[in-house]
Copies of this chain bind each other. A is one copy, B any other.
């Protein structure tokens, strides 16, 4: 499942934006929306950064826990919660600066507004049980049944140093300096308890998570996220994103949380660029300029998978990305995507090391992600131009209340 080219109809929601994650402009009057004044509460029923309107930039980090002390892990989560609440409110970490001590805050975001910063925390399967089967922190009994290392899909070319991790933080903001600053401060707080395993900077969102947002383009030049789940579709969000009571009796602490699939997808940009527009559109299943399905209409028209051309071939090719990713071909499942374009310079062959950092939030990865990705890895025509180089799955606990810390329910 790559990009957001074809998942279901984007029923334009008529409800209010879901949950607490509603943008608030500073009301001092001097700073308007779009100038970095957007601010989202860290505390709430759900973590922010999921149904929050997708910000423009992202810094994602995965960590290895280096302590074996359960109390130290809990302290880390408590300190992360405090720091996250401060930074998402546009404040520095810690109090007044002690002049003879290292500053509590690394400082590069002083003077910058909150810029819509959200910080979303998750737990990887290896936090519960390590490779040797050891219950590291007495959490094994509470490991969700669906929280397992993602399988090796056909054509995966995974790099260990871009995959997995005990903990993750997704930082999204409209200013990359704010997102980088947040990850850096949180990495620093983790010192002695967790260390950075890998990180990824995303420079442009490839998904819309609100009907108020226009559809962005991925690095293949096609609109992406046309039909993503939008936060305004409250019924779909409830059905497809949030874990509900009874989903997993051993992991009731996950209620109101979600599961985060992260995949680093490298794109063979130079090869794609030498492909004809006709071929590009055939593989995708949409036209490039407008993003309309090849069966006709405009961007938001539902594809007609039965329609055939004069040559007797399906207008939406059987190996087209949109067809394979469509809910009607996947038992009706949907996912909420928040992917980002990335470029990490150029590789040793002088090719752009660029692609899409795929992020999706689902209520059940076993149902909503793994079957689809298994089929798409084998059949999707786009796969000729893609290589999955990183992979991870995390359990994203519910939001913390004002007097709680993130993930507290797991340790209760």
Q: Which of A104-112, A316-324, A369-377, A400-408 contacts B (4 or more CB under 8 A)?
A: A104-112
Chain-B contact segment, one of A6-14, A19-27, A196-204: A196-204
Whether the pair B217, A107 counts as a contact (CB closer than 8 A) is yes
A243 CB, nearest partner CB in chain B, Å? 30
B176 close to A107 (CB less than 8 A): no
Q: Are B273 and A102 in contact (CB under 8 A)?
A: yes
Mark the stretch among A116-124, A132-140, A146-154, A348-356 that contacts chain B. A348-356
Report if A98 contacts B (CB, 8 A): yes
Q: Which of chain B's residues has its CB closest to A275's CB?
A: B102
Task: Please give me the residue from chain B that is nearest to A197 by CB atom.
Answer: B350
User: Is the CB of A193 closer than 8 A to any CB of chain B?
Assistant: no
Q: Is A343 an interface residue (CB 8 A)?
A: yes
User: Are the CB atoms of A220 and B352 closer together than 8 Å?
Assistant: no
Q: Does A213 contact B (CB under 8 A)?
A: no
Q: Is A278 an interface residue, CB under 8 A from the partner? A: yes
Q: Which chain B residue lies CB-closest to A288? A: B107
Nearest Cβ on chain B to A124's Cβ, whole angstroms: 15
Whether A221 pairs with B108 at a CB distance below 8 angstroms is yes
Do B348 and A161 have beta carbons less than 8 Å apart?
Answer: yes
Decide: A196 near B276, CB < 8 A? Known: A110-B289, A203-B176, A343-B180: no
B203 to A201, Cβ gap below 8 A? Answer: yes
Bound-state CA distance A277–B176 (Å) is: 24
* The one of B103, B184, B278, B351 that contacts A288, using a Cβ cutoff of 8 Å: B103
A108 touches B218 (CB 8 A): yes
Q: A187 near B: Cβ within 8 Å? A: yes
| Chain A residues in the interface with B (C-beta under 8 A) | 34-35, 57, 59, 61, 64, 97-103, 105-111, 161, 175-177, 180, 184, 187-188, 195-201, 203-204, 214, 216-222, 269-270, 273-278, 280, 288-289, 341, 343-346, 348, 350-352, 354
